Amino acid sequence: MSYAWLANACGAPVPEVSRRVWQLLWLHHEELVEAEVGKPLPSLLEHGDSPVVAILDKGDLYAIFTADDAVTLQPVFAGKGMFGQATATF
């Protein structure tokens, strides 16, 4: 997976390498939780789901994959964060 692929998925330009998103805030089931990079989201584990936050290389582009979607490179959400964090609403 590359910057070019993720930028295309996000519909966003490739960011400067000095900008990174190391965490994001996830609003799901009316609950705002902090997610660690590469870790399952706790609130979704409780509901039987296990999306994984994936940060590709450097920069502030990110995508969220389920275990199966990571194999097919089809994110359940992809976006561009601002100021070190981003909010994904489902």
Q: With beta carbons less than 8 A apart as the criterion, state whether 80 and 15 touch.
A: yes
The closest alpha carbon to 81, from 37, 38, 35, 20, belongs to 20
- Does residue 78 carry a pLDDT above 50? yes
Q: Please give the pLDDT value at position 27.
A: 44
- Specify whether the CB–CB gap between 90 and 28 falls below 8 A: yes
Domain with 77 in it: 3-89
pTM of the predicted model as reported, rounded to 2 decimal places: 0.29
To the nearest whole percent, how much of the chain has pLDDT over 90? Answer: 0
Q: Which pLDDT value is given to residue 53?
A: 52
Structural domain count, the chain: 1
Please calculate the CA angle 74-27-20 and round it to the nearest 5 degrees.
65
Cβ(84)–Cβ(21) below 8 Å:
yes
Please tell me the predicted confidence (pLDDT) of residue 2.
Answer: 45
